[in-house]
Chains A and B, each alone.
Chain A
Amino acid sequence: MAVTLWSGLVLGSVYALVAAGFAIAMVPTGIFNFAQGAIVIGGSFLTYQFLAATKIPTALAVVLTVLVGMGAGLACELLAVRPLRWGRGTVESSAMVTTVGASTALIGLLAIKWGELPLQVPFIGPGGYLHFLGVVGQPVQITVVVLAVVSALALEAFFRYTRTGRVCLAVAEDRDAAMLRGVNVSALSLAAFALAGAFGAAAGVVIGPITYAEPVLGTTLALYGFVAVALGGEGSFIGGLIGGLIVGLVGSLAIRYLGASYGDIAVLGLLLVTLAVRPKGLGGSTKARSV
């Protein structure tokens, strides 16, 4: 049982990290960037490339990965979101189609470069095993859990307590009013997507060793991350963390006690129940809006 809980916790932290990436872009712009999942797994692929294929120093590998992630985030904003503001119709609903398109294209690129089969991604930290509480854990797993918790808390604090963070929250509340007070919402949108991309790629560096690098995971991670957001409330980092952990545990328990095929089915069930019962999710959201 402990083993199941641990693996649920670890995978849950993975989803929480994806959910946090969603929130970073969503809070200041109101856009849910489906391509975030692709960026995360892209970070894993890059880590594989830099550390396993063309071996370069670890620090450099991480920096490069983060930079490419930032670039991918910017590309999403410029190509999939910005042009929508010039046309008519709501941006949010069209952004659904364009970010799904961006995700598909990105995953296609990943498959072209690295193929469809899963690749083993080396971990930048130590290997080995640790025994605690009846569980055998790896350092990479502990790293992911810690990273998920720390980043959720740090991001929540950033958005709530710093001046820039509060500006973002204000933009989320009323874009026009923020513009009138001198906030350059256009630049903010770019910065938000860039940061989300950088964060996602960085997360991919530690997620890769756990999940292996596989193009199809770009979509799977995005979907599971979405369930985490739906559970935790849109725009809430703590909510995303809790939501992610719940998703991970539900999936893990289903696989253990029902069978290997029941993981996805159980999480789908969780999503439907959440949408039916609490469309706004568990945690508070910065902007109450139905997804």
Chain B
Amino acid sequence: MPQLQPSGKRRAANASRWRQRLCSLLAGGPVSLTIPIALAALAVLLPTFYSGAYWIRELSLIAVLALVVSGVNLSFGYAGELQLGQVFMFAVGAYLTMILAIHGTTDVVLLMLIGGVAAVAVGILIAVPAMRIGGWSLAMASFFLVITIPDLASVFSKQTGGLNGLTGVPIPTLFGSQLGNTGLYEVAVIVTILWFACYRNLVTSRFGVVFRVLRESPVLTQSLGYSPSKLKTSVYALGAFPAGVAGCLFGYVSLIVEPTTFGLTLGIGIVAASVLGGTESVYGVLIGAALLQLGPEKSISFATYAPIAYGGFLIVAATLLRGGVARLGRAAASRALRWLQPDAVVAESTDSGAHIEGEPYVLDGATGGNAGGNGSSPERATLPQVQGKRVSVEGVSKSFGGVAALQDVSLTAKPGEVTGLIGSNGSGKTTLLNVICGYASASGGSVKIDDTTISRLRPAQIARLGVGRTFQTPTMPRGVSARDVVASGRYSGDHIGFVASILRLPRYRRAQRADRREATELLQLAGIERFADQDASSLSLGTRRLVEVARTLCARPSVVLLDEAASGLNDEEVIGLATLVQAMADAGATVIVIEHNFKFITSVSQTIHVLHLGQLIASGTPDEVSRDRQVIESYLGKASGTARDRKAVAGAGAGAGAGAGPVPAAAAAALLELHGIESGYGDLRVLRGVSMSIPTGSIEAILGRNGVGKTTLLSTIAGLLPAWNGSVTLLGRPVGGSSAYRRSAAGISLVQEGKRIFRRRTVWQNVMLGTHSLKISRPERQRLCREVLDLFPALRPRTAERAGGLSGGQQQMLAIAQALASRPKILLLDEPSAGLAPTIVDELFARLRTLADDGLTILLVEQLADKALAIADHVTVLDRGQVVTSGTAESFEDVTKLEAAYGLL
């Protein structure tokens, strides 16, 4: 029996290795190169066993079109710009080379080069202004360029033959000897194969990743150390080259160059072919080009219906298919993979892959995933040492318009330490971060990295000084694996150019190996190595954050800035993040962390600085800062004055002729009921089950730190955000299924934070707009508006003024007036006191109290607890998307209860 077992196992092992090889074939690893090589050989050798002139010609033309379409793949698929300039460059190539041929220069290789270079020159000429305009204007200008082709041909009709076309194309020569049709075919096929090899090498190299980043976010491109405008110019130039080459071949194959060939139909057809094949697929181009050439030839009806087909493709592609036919093929392939190897961790394989040649793409079926699935218990791993740089912020001020976001802020972050930066909304944390990274320039003061002042430098230059940062929303380009995303962090430090990438020089291979090695190490450190080969944009938010942090680290930065990296992470992921942060500091880097999550930032930082309304109000160790009264008050407001304020407001309310104080909660019926509300943005869960019941005619205050879900709650009630779970009921009727405008008509009126009125309309028009959902006559509407405006004496004399010209306080009142004009049943207010002077806030809140006493229900979200407590009947405190505590306003007169609820203790 012992003999049988090993051989049985060996047979099983053999079988599984075949399955593995088949898998890697389908998954698109280097093994799959055999298929295109076989196809290429077939194409080159075709004339040896088939000599029909028709098909030789057709295949030549398909090769020509494939060259043109591949250029569009670059500019549309990777740079994201729709432009038909490709046809223009095709025409330039064709005309220029054929004119030269007629005048004696007939060598096909020379002419192809000339055509290519001429097209590149035109491409760069177009690219320079195109960069400034982008979008629609670029597309339209390129369309225009195409329709001027016949006109330009007429203008230069002596050389071009005008509208009749350029005839008399001579026989092509190759190094002196003439080429027949077969010879020309071979040249076309070989050139196409060469171009596609280069193209494939380029887009599976780092540049594939960089182009995808470019399409997704110019900001991210800069932070990786690349200039978006230079990259875009390169893309246009690269895309133009094959068009010029194709022009030469086209001229020789068709023997006539007519302006009508290069029309809008061809232009749109090329884009449609690119879209059909899949703008990111190397091989889909051939499918698209074949259809474009053969379709009209094979059937007259295709030619007639072609425009409808092209138009339909564009619509369908932009709405549904992101990757065209090739993507469908890949989706089918991954399904086949799953059937073949159910245990394997099948990554959604991406065409870019950026696979390293020579290293087999192994799907480790036996162990069910890559080693490193034990990432949940991170050891105290170490990063290679870096030379940290000191960040000195000296007296930095920054204003936007008249608003001072930062006022004379000075702080230092030392190498080898973690420095924390906290502050409530509007404190200026992110502005400071942007100033340090170069995305905003300081109005006063300076920032130094070691001894270099960075005020004149651009973000890409600062990145190259060794400053790395993460963004609040991790931007992952689509179609790039997590490993490649992490590796992209080291691109600018270890720069490899186009030529080295295309030719796969040793320098390139060394860099690729280093990329893979370092990326894998960092993923292991973060505990997410099992996701290494998956499409990064499909990962959960927490994992994406960790991938982003890993990417920042891959550049071995001397300074690391983390912008709210812990937000949205679950407990396990927070631990992974803390490990990374600690490892960074241990390695010697200067780490600056901006956070809302108190526990996290106090656990990792050595020093914490607190900002409030643009000023630095406290600095010290986590212990010192958490006990600092000023810090607590910046979050809570002066809660100590609560009792006094309540009496003052009640007095003011009585003075204005209001009713007899707040309605006892027990007597009033529930106006709004929430049960188990869960919602969020994308895959970020913000609310984790919130329930409350709000009686009619009361003021409910919703308090909590920033980032806990207060705004999300109001948006969900108002219908701007769909609730994932739970119900919203107004007066007994569920409104969960209604869209926002219906809920407004039903009586839920939301005033968003930020004074969102219509600035170009007058005050009167704004209030009139508020009455939109009421079906009343015009005189009644006007009377209602006047009534509402009477509540706000500051607005009454300004009805004809443009809303944009009002002061902040007046704009806020206008926003509330607008909401009141719809005669709501419940008014939702999101931080109405933000940015207003205290006396104005008092006046405003007194008005709200009066309205509540008259029967209006108000849901008031505030960060500054003191003013809200003064007028509220009932209080609910949120933390991390859940209700932490609630009770009557009186029960919160003890300040410590509130501080505990805010998580400050």
Residues of A within 8 A of B (CB): 32, 79-80, 83-84, 87, 92-94, 96-98, 100-109, 111-112, 163, 166-167, 169-170, 173-174, 176-186, 216, 219-220, 223, 226-227, 230, 259-265, 267-268, 271-272, 275-276, 279, 286, 290-291
Contacts of B819 in A (CB 8 A): 181
A101–B144 contact, CB under 8 A?
A: no
Across the interface, B268 reaches (CB within 8 A) one of A100, A109, A226, A290, namely A100
| Chain B residues in 8 Å Cβ range of A286 | 760
A217 to chain B, nearest CB (A): 11
B188–chain A nearest beta-carbon distance, Å: 29
Would you give the shortest CB distance from B270 to chain A, in whole angstroms? 12
CB distance from A82 to the nearest CB of B (A): 9
Interface size classification for chain B: 35 or more
Determine whether the beta carbon of A275 is less than 8 Å from that of B741.
no
| Residues on the A chain within 8 Å of B749, using CB | 180
Contacts A108-B308, A163-B768, A167-B769 given: A185-B741 contact, CB under 8 Å?
yes
What's the A-B contact tally at a CB cutoff of 8 Å?
190
Contact across chains for A182 and B745 when beta carbons are under 8 A apart: yes
What secondary structure prevails in chain A residues at the interface with B? helix
Given contacts A101-B313, A112-B304, contact A223 B761 (CB under 8 A): no
Task: For the complex, give the distance between the alpha carbons of A138 and B36 in Å.
Answer: 65
Is there an interface contact between A180 and B148, defined as CB atoms closer than 8 Å?
A: no
- Which of B308, B312, B745, B752 has the most C-beta atoms of chain A within 10 angstroms of its own C-beta? B308
Which residues of B sit under 8 angstroms from A83, Cβ to Cβ?
A: 319-320
Interface membership of B822, Cβ < 8 A = yes
**Contact yes or no, B132 A104, CB < 8 A:** no
| Chain B residue nearest to A234 in the complex (CB) | B136
Check A226 against B140 for contact (C-beta < 8 Å): yes
Q: Is the CB of A103 within 8 A of B311?
A: yes
Cβ of A93 to closest chain B Cβ, rounded Å: 6
Indicate whether B307 reaches chain A with its CB closer than 8 angstroms: yes
Contacts of A97 in B (CB 8 A): 82, 314-315, 317-318
Q: Report yes or no: B145 in contact with A101, Cβ–Cβ below 8 A.
A: no
**B147 CB-CB contact with A under 8 Å:** yes
In the bound assembly, the distance between CA atoms of A238 and B752 in angstroms comes to 34
A104 touches B319 (CB 8 A): no
Interface membership of B344, Cβ < 8 A: no
Task: State A135–B148 Cα separation when bound (angstroms).
Answer: 30
- A96 touching B139 in the complex, CB below 8 Å, given contacts A79-B315, A275-B129: yes
Of residues 660 through 707 on chain B, the ones whose CB sits less than 8 Å from some CB of chain A are none
* A166 and B741 contact, CB distance less than 8 A: no
Point out the residues of chain A lying under 8 angstroms from B236, CB to CB: none
The residue from B308, B739, B740, B759 contacting A105, defined by CB atoms under 8 A apart: B308
A271:B144 contact, CB within 8 angstroms: yes
User: A177-B756, A184-B741, A275-B133 provided; 19 other pairs, C-beta below 8 A?
Assistant: A83-B320, A96-B135, A96-B139, A97-B82, A98-B318, A102-B311, A104-B307, A105-B315, A111-B307, A167-B772, A170-B769, A179-B720, A181-B770, A181-B819, A182-B744, A219-B264, A261-B152, A264-B147, A268-B145
Given contacts A93-B135, A179-B741, contact A223 B769 (CB under 8 A): no
Q: Which residues of A contact B718 (CB under 8 A)?
A: 180
B96 to chain A minimum Cβ distance, whole angstroms, is: 19
Tell yes or no: B137 within 8 A of A by CB: yes
Residues of A near B305 (CB, < 8 A) are 108, 112
Per-residue contact bits, chain B 598-628, to A (CB 8 Å; 1 contact, 0 not)? 0000000000000000000000000000000
Give, as a whole number of angstroms, the nearest-CB distance from B799 to chain A.
15
Assess whether B379 is interfacial by the CB under 8 Å rule: no
Cβ of A174: which chain B residues have Cβ within 8 Å of it? 756, 758
User: For residue B147, which residues in chain A have a CB less than 8 angstroms away from its CB?
Assistant: 219-220, 223, 264
Is A84 a contact of B152 with CB atoms below 8 Å? no
Q: How far is the CA of A179 from the CA of B750 in the complex (A)?
A: 10
Cα–Cα, bound, A226→B136 (Å): 10
Q: What residues on A are CB-neighbors of B769 within 8 Å?
A: 166-167, 170, 178, 181
Question: CA A177 – CA B720 in complex, angstroms?
Answer: 10
Minimum CB–CB distance for B574 against chain A, Å:
27
Question: Using Cβ atoms and an 8 Å threshold, which residues of chain B touch A184?
Answer: 741
Measured CB to CB, the residues of B under 8 A from A are 80, 82, 129, 132-137, 139-141, 143-145, 147-148, 150-152, 154-155, 264, 268, 304-308, 310-315, 317-320, 718, 720, 739-741, 744-745, 749-750, 752, 756-761, 765, 768-770, 772-773, 818-819, 822
Do B307 and A223 touch (CB < 8 A)?
Answer: no
A129 to chain B, nearest CB (A): 31
B314 near A98: Cβ-Cβ < 8 Å:
yes
| Least CB distance, B768 to chain A, in whole angstroms | 7
Interface centre among A103, A112, A180, A264 (most CB of B within 10 A): A180
Q: A223-B143, A268-B148 are in contact. Are A181 and B822 (CB under 8 A)?
A: yes
With A176-B720, A180-B750, A265-B148 already in contact, the answer to whether A108 and B137 are too (CB < 8 A) is: no
Residue of A nearest to B682 (CB): A88
**Beta-carbon contact of B319 and A180 below 8 Å:** no
With CB as the reference atom, state the residue of chain B lying closest to A112.
B304
Q: Nearest Cβ in chain A — how far from B565, in angstroms?
A: 23
Is B761 touching A170 in the complex (CB atoms < 8 A)? yes
Are A105 and B312 within 8 A (Cβ)?
A: yes
A223 CB contact (under 8 Å) in B140, B304, B760: B140
* Bound-state Cα–Cα, A44 to B454, Å: 62
Nearest to B749 among chain A residues (CB) is A180
Question: Is A264's CB under 8 angstroms from B151's CB?
Answer: yes
Q: Is there contact, CB below 8 Å, between A291 and B136? A: yes
Can you name 5 A-B residue pairings with CB atoms under 8 Å?
A: A101-B310, A166-B768, A180-B752, A272-B141, A290-B137
Residues from chain B with Cβ under 8 Å of A166 in the complex: 761, 765, 768-769
A173 touching B268, Cβ below 8 Å: no
Q: Output the nearest chain B residue to A286 by Cβ-Cβ distance.
A: B760
CB distance from A135 to the nearest CB of B (A): 27
Instruction: Closest B residue to A32 by CB, please name it.
Output: B136
Bound-state Cα–Cα, A156 to B488, Å: 51
Instruction: Determine if B744 and A181 form an interchain contact, defined as CB atoms under 8 angstroms apart.
Output: yes
Complex alpha-carbon distance, A138 and B133, angstroms: 40
- Least Cβ–Cβ distance between B854 and chain A, in angstroms: 22
Minimum CB–CB distance for B587 against chain A, Å: 37
Residues of A with C-beta under 8 A to B758? 169-170, 173-174, 177
Known: A167-B772, A169-B761. A98 touches B315 (CB 8 A): yes
From B136, B148, B740, contact of A264 by CB (8 A):
B148
- The distance in angstroms between the C-alpha atoms of A183 and B752, with both chains bound, is 16
- Residue in contact with B151 in the complex, picked from A87, A103, A219, A261, CB distance below 8 Å: A261
Q: Taking the nearest CB of chain B, how far is it from the CB of A221, in angstroms?
A: 12
A134 to B112, CA, bound (A): 56
Contact B772 A263 (CB under 8 A): no
Q: Which residues of A contact B155 (CB under 8 A)?
A: 259, 261-262, 265
Choose among B155, B752, B768, B769 the residue with the greatest number of A CB atoms under 10 Å from its CB: B769
A40 to B141, CA, bound (A): 21
Report chain A residues within 8 Å CB of B739.
179, 186
Contact check, A84 vs B129: say whether CB atoms are below 8 A apart.
no
Chain B residues within an 8 Å CB radius of A223? 140, 143-144, 147
A262 to chain B: which residues have CB within 8 Å?
A: 151, 155
Q: Are B760 and A105 in contact, CB atoms less than 8 angstroms apart?
A: no
Does A177 contact B757, Cβ atoms closer than 8 Å? yes
Shortest Cβ distance from residue B620 to the other chain A in the assembled complex, whole angstroms: 41
| Distance in angstroms between the alpha carbons of A79 and B315 in the assembled complex | 8
Q: Report the minimum CB–CB distance from A223 to chain B (whole Å).
A: 6
Question: Could you say which of B154, B319, B745, B773 contacts A261, with CB atoms under 8 Å apart?
Answer: B154
B320 surroundings in chain A (CB, below 8 A): 83
Tell me, in angstroms, the Cα distance from A271 to B285 when the chains sit together: 33
Residues of chain B within 8 A (CB-CB) of A259 are: 155
- Complex Cα distance, B772 from A112, in Å, reads 46
CB distance from A78 to the nearest CB of B (A): 11
Cα A156 to Cα B82 with chains together (Å): 32
B730 to chain A, nearest CB (A): 15
Min distance, Cβ B212 to any Cβ of chain A, angstroms: 14
Measured between beta carbons, the chain A residues less than 8 angstroms from B82 are: 96-97, 100
Smallest Cβ distance from A116 to chain B, in angstroms?
10
Out of A104, A216, A261, A268, name the residue touching B310 (CB < 8 Å): A104
